[in-house]
Structure 1
Amino acid sequence: MRLCLLSIIAIFSFAATAVEAAGFQTFSVPSDPGGPALEAAMWSPCATAAKDIKLGSSVIPGVRDCSIAGQNLPLIVVSHGFGGSYLGHRDTAETLADAGFIVVAINHPDDAYTNEARFRDYWALISRPSDVRRLIDFLLGPASGPARIDPNRIGFFGFSRGGYTGLVLGGGQPNFRAWFSPCTGSNAERCTHGSLDVWSIHSLVHDTRVKAIVIADPLSKMFPTSDSLRLISVPVQLWGAQFGGDGVFPEDVATIARNLPGKSEFHIVPRAAHFAFIRPCPDELKKSRPNICVDDASFDRVAFHRDFNQRVLAFFRQQLGVGERP
């Protein structure tokens, strides 16, 4: 395990690695016996100059429904945190798409901001990995164009519960019994779906098609030992905020860093709290959601994301490649 202490004041410039802008489109994965419909957003290489796209209350740069530039491209699936959405990491998605990746983010039905029951529903910890598998099945099957996605070059990016999702997809075996027991006090809500036998690792989905994983401040408490991570064989880039937050504790992330097998790297972000990994917020959102959008005065989220996005890009380039098939 390699530990890298980042200097937040160091700003990595955006070198011109591609002349393409990010194409953008939204779509749905139909419901099936495996789960409900999934709402998704896709960023892709596009040879047309970006314009402003109005999406609800957000304005994002891109080209609506642009023809994908290239074939046999690597795919990155993005998984948001608790109560998040597929737009929470769009700056990272845009960076990857500009560099030649297809990037698809989903709203997890059991865990997105649109789910009013999310504060009581922990079933998402079971359904999230299945959501990702169903998305990949759809992208390689009914939604597949003329060989746009290389099925041998699929990566994953996840934040918070999305980071937990990536660990499970890669082969992680969470210890739910340790996390949920006892079913009293503050843990009582977590046990509303019946006995702990429901929360079984046998219900979880792993996906060997995922070849490289980036996880930021993952929900970590249920991976307390090296045995819970021993089956992860793909390269992992792990990020942790110095101060943690929202149920993610720095010491638990550090435990994962120590116990990850294989080719993994660990980056600690000084002076950062948990939500620093979400894209920088516009001013109006800073006013309405200061708990998510406002950082300590000593931390520059915009500068950090310039660095962060380039490091994520470099990792996926190294592990999956861009351009010709390896």
Structure 2
Amino acid sequence: MCSVRFAFAISFLLWLTAANAAGVKNFDIPAGAAGPAIRLLVWTPCAEPPQEMDARGAIFFAVPGCPVTGEKLPLIVISHGRRGWFGGHHDTAAALADAGFVVAALNHPGDTWRDTSRTDSLSVLVERPADISRLIDYMLDDWPDASRINAQRIGLYGFSFGGYTGLAVIGGNPDLRKGLPNCATSSLLACKQLENGDAPGQPITPDPRVKAAIIVDPYPAFVFAEKNLKRIATPVQLWSSDPAQNADGLSGCCAVAIKEGLVAPDYHFVANARHFSFLATCTPKEAQVNPAACTDAPGFDRVDFHRSFHADIVAFFRKHFAESASP
């Protein structure tokens, strides 16, 4: 155990030396007719030296409340995975902020590590995409520095259930009905609800404001019909972990199926990566509390992978935002 902790400590220290400076601050979207209150964390470009911050056992390398630098900044919204939280991809958010993006991550109501009251339910599958639209509305209209955002350059990053969320937001039109193929063998509560005759309480409406999307290990994938995926016009960079690491039942399970439906996605297969290898590098404390999410395959270096991963996603967003601005 000591050697494992030492290895994580060394990896974490290496991450700190390469970490990006970013401002960070909490905000709240109030409850209203559109839905319950939403807690969010926003990273922004920052000119001050970074600080080490402890957040629920995770260490962020950022500046609390740093004044935002820059104008007409692109916005990236982050959707976390099942039972995740808005800080699960904090190193990715910091890397994007350091590259000149405003990054807003939310806690999806009813499906976080703290509140699992609606995890896997039909209501969560329906409301997650609506959460993203509410987040974009807030960032463009009510966020204190809303005037600094370029509303024509909005991107999305979605991991796992957040990948499902992202595909729904950009027009994937998930098929949520009784008799859905593969639902009968799924453990999702939503599948049981559909088979019992429940129906979505509201339509899932795409958000055309999202101009580019990073989709990582999307789950569940079986709700997306190929014909619906082919209608997606938004540029997608699709990432897959390695099915050879599928002991968790998630690694490499779903991105290939989505890839076959999308039209020319920018597809990346990461050999030897596990599903949770896309989460931020763990501290020793996090590794002790949640070893499944913090333990990578032998020989896989999460710190090193995230350096190249971040470079690729920054390049993807810059490329497509530049193209969307072309006459």
TM-score normalised per structure 1: 0.85
1:27 aligns with 2:27: yes
> Distance between the aligned counterparts of 2:225 and 2:80, measured in 1?
25
Shift of 1:306: 1.1
1:242 aligns with 2:238: no
Provide the residue aligned with 1:253 in structure 2.
255
Q: Name the SS of the counterpart of 2:22 in structure 1.
A: strand
Aligned CA RMSD, in angstroms, stands at 2.7
Provide the residue aligned with 1:128 in structure 2.
128
1:311-326 matches, within 5 Å, as 311-321=312-322
> Distance between the aligned counterparts of 1:176 and 1:189, measured in 2?
9
Is the alpha carbon distance of 1:144 and 1:205 closer, same or farther for their aligned partners in structure 2, counting shifts above 3 Å? farther
Is the alpha carbon distance of 1:286 and 1:150 closer, same or farther for their aligned partners in structure 2, counting shifts above 3 Å? same
Equivalenced residue count is 304
Q: Which moved more, 1:173-182 or 1:65-74?
A: 173-182
> Distance between the aligned counterparts of 1:176 and 1:193, measured in 2?
7
1:77-116 matches, within 5 Å, as 77-116=77-116
Provide the residue aligned with 1:8 in structure 2.
none
1:219-234 matches, within 5 Å, as 219-223=219-223, 225-234=225-234
1:228-307 matches, within 5 Å, as 228-243=228-243, 245=246, 247-248=249-250, 250=252, 252-261=254-263, 263-307=264-308
1:148 aligns with 2:148: yes
CA deviation vs aligned residue, 1:8-28 (integer Å, no higher than 9, x gap): xxxxxx9xxxxx831110111
> Distance between the aligned counterparts of 2:197 and 2:238, measured in 1?
29
CA deviation vs aligned residue, 1:27-46 (integer Å, no higher than 9, x gap): 11111111101110010001
Q: Name the SS of the counterpart of 2:54 in structure 1.
A: strand
Provide the residue aligned with 2:3 in structure 1.
none
Is the alpha carbon distance of 1:120 and 1:23 closer, same or farther for their aligned partners in structure 2, counting shifts above 3 Å? closer
Shift of 1:193: 7.3
> Distance between the aligned counterparts of 1:289 and 1:319, measured in 2?
36
Shift of 1:104: 0.5
1:164 aligns with 2:191: no
- Counterpart residue type for residue 242 of structure 2: Q
Shift of 1:77: 0.1
CA deviation vs aligned residue, 1:146-182 (integer Å, no higher than 9, x gap): 6211110000001000001110010002223325744
Shift of 1:82: 0.3
1:55 aligns with 2:51: no
Is the alpha carbon distance of 1:233 and 1:260 closer, same or farther for their aligned partners in structure 2, counting shifts above 3 Å? same
Moved beyond 6 Å, runs of 4+: none
Q: Say if 1:223 and 1:256, in contact at 8 Å, map to a contact too.
A: no
Shift of 1:194: 7.9
- Counterpart residue type for residue 159 of structure 2: F
> Distance between the aligned counterparts of 1:203 and 1:247, measured in 2?
30
- Counterpart residue type for residue 175 of structure 2: N
Shift of 1:59: 2.9
Q: Name the SS of the counterpart of 1:61 in structure 2.
A: strand
Shift of 1:298: 2.3
> Distance between the aligned counterparts of 2:98 and 2:189, measured in 1?
46
> Distance between the aligned counterparts of 2:270 and 2:149, measured in 1?
33
Q: Say if 1:221 and 1:252, in contact at 8 Å, map to a contact too.
A: yes
CA deviation vs aligned residue, 1:206-244 (integer Å, no higher than 9, x gap): 100000000110014324542121221010000001126
- Counterpart residue type for residue 237 of structure 1: Q
- Counterpart residue type for residue 290 of structure 1: P
Q: Name the SS of the counterpart of 1:60 in structure 2.
A: strand
Q: Name the SS of the counterpart of 2:45 in structure 1.
A: strand
- Counterpart residue type for residue 125 of structure 2: L
Shift of 1:119: 4.8
Q: Say if 1:179 and 1:221, in contact at 8 Å, map to a contact too.
A: no
> Distance between the aligned counterparts of 1:70 and 1:139, measured in 2?
16
More helix by share: 2
Q: Name the SS of the counterpart of 2:71 in structure 1.
A: coil
> Distance between the aligned counterparts of 1:185 and 1:314, measured in 2?
36
Is the alpha carbon distance of 1:254 and 1:82 closer, same or farther for their aligned partners in structure 2, counting shifts above 3 Å? same
Higher RCO structure (Cα 8 Å, ≥6 apart): 1
TM-score normalised per structure 2: 0.85
- Counterpart residue type for residue 123 of structure 1: S
Q: Structure 1: where are the runs of 5+ without partners?
A: 1-13, 15-19
- Counterpart residue type for residue 261 of structure 2: N
